[in-house]
Structure 1
Amino acid sequence: MMILLVTLGFDEKFALRAIFRRGLRAGDKVIFVVPEDEDPRAEKAFSTIQQIIYRSIPEVSIERFRVPVKEFSKAVSLMRKLALSLLRSGEKIVLNLSGGQRIVILGVLAGFLSCGASDVEVEVESEDSSALATFPLMIMENIKLDHEDIRILEVLAKSPKRFGEVHSVVGISKSSAWRKLKKLTDLGLIEKVDEEYRLTELGESRITSNF
């Protein structure tokens, strides 16, 4: 099951696209994070989304979570408590931060980052809806790479490699290579395509920034 947490503003389009793009099913949950102070435009957007979900995928549960935008510390504290509760569920968590007030978006990020929510996925759609960025929340943390991690990135920067080639060229055991490759994949620095590991754009930028 999936928990989709959406920062909601006055426009429902970003939220609706996220909901249908993710293909939510029975048992999934959508949590809309909104300012504590009610606004008719935001209420209308939420009502529109609610009606569409109830008609299209009624088995999906909907919640609304209000945060005080004028008390940022309190907002972060509330988001941290929510994040810890959601993480305990063990479900896949996706944060869609395409809409809503900037201070609400920052509160969501700060709340989740403060409790080490490393397995959470983040997605942000551009204002004109022409692009979508997705990345693991952990890349916003202070990522520590050891010399073997960096060596793997260096090797893959030259050309994609299969698992056996990685552990052979880098000179580490198969178990270590598996752990390292999983770590770098989870960080979004590499990806596996047709049995070969290769750098992502994020991985390429990491190599550039380190050397």
Structure 2
Amino acid sequence: MTSGRVFLCSFGFDEKFVLRCLVRYGFSVGDIVKLITSDPPDSRVLDAYRRVEELARRLGGSSELLAVDYRDLDRAISVIIGIVGGLRGNEVIVNLSGGMRILICLILIALMLAETKSKIKIEIETEDLKSLVDIPQKILKLPKFRMGGAKLKIAEILVSRGELSVTELATAIGKDKSLMSRHIRDMEEVGLIHTERMGRTKIVKPTNILRALIES
């Protein structure tokens, strides 16, 4: 396992998104860029990889080209899960701007399913290079989140009433404040709610994602 940062990028025959990502974050000694491409990689992909490899080496880091067969979805996802799972302890920057769309989907699925404690930053740069969209890491935890019982009641009340204090929520569903605080922390960690302080009172508000889940 590398001691530096890991850059995990979807990759095709155009290296510009990867190069821009490496420069943007100051790729340096000890860092490694892992490029995920389709198997088998054609000559254009290999040419593009050589240019990435050259820059990575010049900056004191390293690179690796990893080819997965997207036609075998089960194996492709399991391979990428293995890659992500092996990154424990590293800061990971994921760039999903290049390569085939199916590869981007596979990497996102693997990130959602993989068990990792790494700090992960996920970004997608638009084709015109004018915008960079960040995907919050907490969104990755959402598919595994179980929203039943008290959490479901909290969700329904918040969507119905807009915002409440922790004390008001505890009263509304008949739970003590300490238990309510744990539920709120769990829901905030996956991006279903957000909280803010108003003096000594903590206010809880639903996110648009929670509204969509409850109202759908």
TM exceeding 0.5 = yes
- Residue 46 (structure 2) aligns with: 43
Q: Distance in 1 between matches of 2:24 and 2:191?
A: 20
Whether the 8 Å CA contact 2:122–2:135 is kept in 1: the answer is: yes
The amino acid that maps onto 2:124 is: V
For 2:191 and 2:117, how far apart are their aligned partners in 1? Answer: 12
What are the equivalent positions in structure 2 for 1:61-100 lying under 5 Å apart? 61-86=62-87, 89-100=88-99
Alignment-mate amino acid for residue 8 of structure 2: L
**Residue correspondence of structure 1 range 76-155 to structure 2 within 5 A:** 76-86=77-87, 89-117=88-116, 120-129=120-129, 130-136=131-137, 138-139=140-141, 141-146=143-148, 147-148=150-151, 151=154, 154=158
Q: Indicate how the Cα distance of structure 1 residues 207 and 62 shifts in structure 2: closer, same or farther if over 3 A, else same.
A: same
CA contact (8 A) 2:14 2:98 kept: yes
Which structure has the bigger radius of gyration? 2
Q: Which runs of 5+ in 1 are unaligned?
A: none
Secondary structure of the residue aligned to 1:100 is coil
Give percent identity, aligned residues only.
22
Give the CA RMSD over aligned residues.
3.6
State yes or no: 1:207 paired with 2:211: yes
Note the C-alpha offset of 1:206: 1.7
CA deviation after TM superposition for structure 1 residue 5, in Å: 0.8
Gaps of 5+ in 2: 171-175
User: Is the 1:149–1:184 contact (alpha carbons within 8 Å) kept by the matching residues of 2?
Assistant: no
Q: For 1:26 and 1:182, how far apart are their aligned partners in 2?
A: 37
In the comparison of the two structures, how many residue pairs are matched? 199
Counterpart position of 2:168: 169
Match of 1:5 in 2: 8
> Alignment partner of 2:86: what SS?
helix
2:37 aligned partner, one-letter code: V
Distance in 1, matches of 2:51 and 2:77, equals 27
Shift of residue 8, structure 1, vs aligned partner: 0.7
Structure 1 pair 192–176 and aligned structure 2 pair: CA distance change class (3 A)? closer
Superposition deviation, residue 90 in structure 1: 2.5
Q: Which secondary structure state, in structure 2, belongs to the residue aligned with residue 141 of structure 1?
A: helix
Q: Secondary structure at the match of 1:122?
A: strand
Structure 1 distance, partners of 2:84, 2:63, is 16
Distance 1:52 1:209 in 2: 44
Counterpart of 2:30 in structure 1 is 27
TM-score by length of 2: 0.69
Matched, 1:188 2:191: yes
CA contact (8 A) 1:118 1:138 kept: no
Name the TM-score, length of structure 1 as normaliser. 0.70
SS in structure 2 opposite 1:69?
coil
Instruction: State the AA in 2 paired with 1:81.
Output: G
**Deviations 1:159-189, CA, capped at 9 Å, x for gaps:** 6x9xxxx433333535752x44543343234
Q: Give the Å deviation of 1:40.
A: 2.3
Name the CA shift for 1:193/1:63 in 2 (closer, same or farther; >3 Å). Answer: farther
1:205/1:76 CA distance change after superposition, 3 Å: closer
List 4+ stretches of structure 1 deviating above 6 A: 192-198
